[in-house]
Amino acid sequence: MSKSYRVAILGATGAVGTELLELLENRAFPVAELKLLASERSVGRSLRFNGENILVEPVSDRAFENVDIVLASAGGSTSKTWASVAVEKGAVVIDNSSAFRMNPQVPLVVPEVNPQAAANHQGIIANPNCTTILMTVAVWPLHQIKPVQRIVASTYQSASGAGARAMAEVKTQTSAILQGQRPVAEVLPYPLAFNLFPHNSPLNDLGYCEEEMKMVNETRKIFSSQQIKITATCVRVPVLRAHSEAINLEFATPFSVDAAKEILTSAPGVKLVEDWKNNHFPMPIEATGQDEVLVGRIRQDISHPCGLELWLCGDQIRKGAALNAIQIAELLVEKNLLKPLVTSH
């Protein structure tokens, strides 16, 4: 006996939305009906799902009627407007925006790390920030063996984090520069092609940008540990769709490199990529399209006896966003945390 669910994707035409669509199909999520929602700009477009063309609808109150799960990826302000409408109409919203992540009533879930948190949902479950998801998948298994005391993260974030239009802009800028023209920046604040810049999210009084504070605050919430000291520097780099992160971890006592490798070899959602002989380690180009977070260059921190260094790459659109959201939906199904619509044999 199998149950299936009425699903809506809010932001279906975006970079994450199209990946959500592909993952629902490829992972054979039990979809009874699928609604594709976007802005008025996309009215008239259709997208393919399981061999059918589905028309994109403009988001509206009525669009959330008779929906069990909303996968939302249309930005924070759109989520703030529509998530409560969808919940009122009986749906569970898995929200990819930052709108509800730090709300104490809203679970913030990485299924490899804190699946149990999903059970406490009151209609909305938040998908963490992409850099946070990738880091927590790699650090959590080590934290289980010896609690990490301090994390220093430096990120190298691809254009995909700023959406489909940012990815297109980098391509256009690249060809403009190659033809001797000036690159135009409209989506991102500066030209990204052949360049990089510190993440352009708003800065706080301490000089940290929002993206950096997401890594700090979201990781503490996901790990249920306010004691961990975390600092981050987030940088946008001219890579299309996978993020990289250099992570320094400090423990109370030394953590052997061999033990860390052994743990990460069998950790869920992690793939160890280390070929020291050929100097081959995780690269965004190899992480692209993969479900796992690629981790490598695990080494003793020579500046601290209890420190470990590691390097990771993960597909920002996939595990950093769409896949994590689908895994949360799968968890809700598995744990019977949704109302089933259709029962078939």
Residue from 121, 143, 199, 243 carrying the catalytic annotation: 243
H-helix segments, the chain: 15-26, 76-88, 130-145, 164-178, 210-223, 257-265, 284-287, 323-334
304: tokens are 């601290």
Residue 126 lies near ligand A2P (rule: CB under 6 A):
no
Q: What residue is closest to ligand A2P based on CB?
A: 14
Concerning whether 313 is annotated as a catalytic residue, the answer is: no
Residues 163, 183, 296, 307: which binds ligand A2P (CB under 6 A)? 163
In the complex with ligand A2P, which residue's Cβ is closer, 12 or 310? 12
Task: Supply the minimum distance, in Å, between the C-beta of residue 77 and ligand A2P.
Answer: 7
Residue from 121, 130, 143, 234 carrying the catalytic annotation: 130
In the complex with ligand A2P, which residue's Cβ is closer, 74 or 142? 74
Within 13 A of 104's CA, how many CA atoms are on the CB side?
Answer: 0
Residue 64 makes CB contacts below 8 A (sequence gap 6+) with 8, 70, 82, 85, 86, 89, 91
Q: x/- site string to ligand A2P, residues 50 to 69, per CB under 6 A?
A: ---------x----------
3-class SS letters over 44-89: CCEEEECCEEEEEEECCCHHHCCCCEEEECCCHHHHHHHHHHHHHC
Q: How many residues bind ligand A2P, per CB under 6 A? A: 17
Residue 171 lies near ligand A2P (rule: CB under 6 A):
no
Residues 7, 12, 130, 142: which binds ligand A2P (CB under 6 A)? 12
Task: Supply the minimum distance, in Å, between the C-beta of residue 330 and ligand A2P.
Answer: 22
DSSP code at position 191: -
Residue 21 lies near ligand A2P (rule: CB under 6 A):
no
The count of other CB atoms within 10 Å of the CB of residue 337 is 16
Q: Would you tell me the crossing angle of helices 323-334 and 15-26 to the nearest 10 degrees?
A: 40
- The whole-angstrom separation of Cα 315 and Cα 313 is 7
Residue 14 lies near ligand A2P (rule: CB under 6 A):
yes
Residues 6, 7, 8, 15: which binds ligand A2P (CB under 6 A)? 15
**Positions 77 through 106 that interact with ligand A2P (CB under 6 A):** 78
The residue type of 239 is V
Q: Pairing between strand 148-157 and 242-251?
A: antiparallel
Residue 219 lies near ligand A2P (rule: CB under 6 A):
no
In the complex with ligand A2P, which residue's Cβ is closer, 80 or 339? 80
- The whole-angstrom separation of Cα 149 and Cα 306 is 10
Which residues are tagged catalytic? 130, 243
Q: Which residues bind ligand A2P (CB under 6 A)?
A: 11-15, 17, 38-39, 41-42, 59, 74-75, 78, 163-165
